[in-house]
Amino acid sequence: MINKKVIEYIEAIIVALVIAIVVRTFVVQPFSIPSESMLNTLIKGDCVMVNKFIYGIKIPFTNDYLVELEAPQRGDVVVFEFPRNPSIDYIKRIVGLPGDTIAVHNKQLYVNGSRVDEPYAIHIYPDMQLPQDNFGPITVPEGEYFMMGDNRDDSADSRAWGTVKRNAIIGKAWRLYWSWGSISDVRWDRIGKKIE
């Protein structure tokens, strides 16, 4: 005969697991930064919480929305399924909305013909001309978004592999919950930082 206390512990563990699965599926998901494509906003070793609820509620194990909420906005830092391999998650900044015309001239982003002020964007090779320094113009298709890394000289983004469908967006990066370069290099000053 199983002890009543053991049954209570098993029930508590099951309830905790169900809550954790529901929260991860619908509300927030952790994501770690594997590269330097989002410098200086995010650095390699940062761990972020992604708000999955902000854009809508998806049917579990699909990319179909049960309920669509807020639309992704220009400037949002988002995690999404890489268009060429949906099993890989990427993180970039939305710079173009559906219908926008996007162009890059001499490292400068233009949206709908207007130069965009981007205080978060950096160029680690400011004096070097790179293939991605001149791009477009292209019009973002309906229901899709144009993504770019903040580290414009070292980012594989929509300039290389195209736009991202709305339903491939997993969520908006919200806050850093951890940051380290190694076990002896914890970046305490970054923990809790809001991602903007």
pLDDT of the chain, 196 residues: tens digit per residue: 567 777 776 777 776 676 666 555 555 688 989 999 999 999 999 999 999 889 988 887 788 888 888 999 999 999 999 999 999 999 999 999 999 999 999 999 999 999 999 999 999 999 899 989 999 999 999 999 999 999 999 999 999 999 999 999 999 999 999 998 888 889 999 999 999 9
Burial zone of 74 (CB within 10 Å; 0-12 exposed, 13-18 middle, 19+ buried)? middle
pLDDT at 24: 58
7 φ/ψ angles, rounded to the nearest 5 degrees: -60, -40
pTM for the structure as a whole: 0.84
108 φ/ψ angles, rounded to the nearest 5 degrees: -100, 130
Annotated domain spans of the chain:
4-99+138-190
Out of 3.40.50.10260, 3.30.1950.10, 2.10.109.10, 2.60.120.10, the CATH code matching 4-99+138-190 is 2.10.109.10
Catalytic residues: 37, 92
